[in-house]
């Protein structure tokens, strides 16, 4: 899959819309805003993000490990994808 960061960003936003809590549009967040602290998702949604990244990008978190810090913001998630695609 040869996506640009912008394309991955749009796909990630689409996914986050499907798991977000009501009330805060994902479009209002900056890439550096913390997803849980903003109220967009709860901490359990990190597991849904892991499953999304595994199925969409083939990232193996059993090898890589799961870091809530890395997966805590839109920019961080995009960075994880880029690191794994190198």
Architecture of 5-85 per CATH?
A: Orthogonal Bundle (1.10)
Q: Would the pLDDT of 1 be above 60?
A: no
Residue with tokens 């499907």: 18
- 16-52 pLDDT, tens per residue? 999 998 888 898 899 999 999 999 999 889 999 999 9
Whole-model pTM: value is 0.90
Instruction: Quote the Cα angle for 50-17-43, to 5°.
Output: 45
Domain ranges of the chain: 5-85
Phi and psi of 34, rounded to 5°? Answer: -75, 125
């Amino acid at each position: 899959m040869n996506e640009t960061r912008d394309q991955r960003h749009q796909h990630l936003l689409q996914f986050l819309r499907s798991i977000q809590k009501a009330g805060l549009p994902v479009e209002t967040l900056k890439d550096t805003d913390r997803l849980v602290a903003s109220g967009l998702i709860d901490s359990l949604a990190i597991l849904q993000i892991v499953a999304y990244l595994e199925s969409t990008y083939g990232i193996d978190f059993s090898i890589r490990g799961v870091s809530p810090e890395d997966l805590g913001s839109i920019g961080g998630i995009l960075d994880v994808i880029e690191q794994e695609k190198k």
